[in-house]
Amino acid sequence: MEKILMTRAGFAQLDEELRVLRSEERPAVIRAIAEAREHGDLSENAEYHAAREKQSFVEGRIKELEGLISRAEVIDPAKLSGSVKFGATVRLVDEDSEEERTYQIVGEAEADLERGLLNIRSPLARALIGKDEGDSVEVVTPGGQKGYEILSVEYK
C-alpha cells in the first residue's frame, strides 16, 4: 500500500475532520433519520431521503479519511533544509507579470491552492523539486508556458 505524504498540520486537519464526523455529524444524521421516520410514509418523505443522502456522504467521507490517515506518512518540514522538496515553502515571482506568490509543497490530500498549499504532483511543484533559491523554472500550464524565479525556500 502506497504511503501518502502529509505535513503535520495537514494530518492534524484531517484527523480533526474525522473526529467531528464521527462524534458530531454521524449522531446528528442518525437523529434526523429517526425523526423523519416518525413522520410516516417513507416513500414520499423528503426529510428522510435527504437525511439518508447525508448519511451516505458522511459515511463515505469517514471511510475516505480513515484510509488516508492509515496510509499517512507525516513529515515535519521544520526538520528539513536545502533545495526544494516536500514541505518547502517557496516564494516565487512570475517572470512575465512580476506577481509574487508563496506556496507550500504538500501532499495531495491536503492541497488547497487558495490557501497556498500546492499539490506535490502538480506541474509547478514537480518543476520546483530539486531547485534552489535564485533558480528559474519553466512550467507548461493550461494557459501556456510560464516562467518563475525562486525568490526564497524555507522550511517551517
pTM of the model: 0.81
Per-residue model confidence (pLDDT) at position 57? 97
Which 3 state secondary structure label does DSSP give 135? coil
CA dihedral 113, 139, 146, 110 (to 10 degrees): 0
Q: Name all domains of the chain by residue range, CATH numbers in brackets.
A: 4-75 (1.10.287.180), 77-154 (3.10.50.30)
> How far is 75 from 36, CA to CA, in rounded Å?
45
Q: Nearest 5°: CA angle at 36, between 17 and 18?
A: 10
Q: Estimate to the nearest angstrom the gap between the alpha carbon of 7 and the chain centroid.
A: 10
The pLDDT tens digits of the residues spanning 23-62 come to 999 999 999 999 888 877 777 788 888 999 999 999 999 9
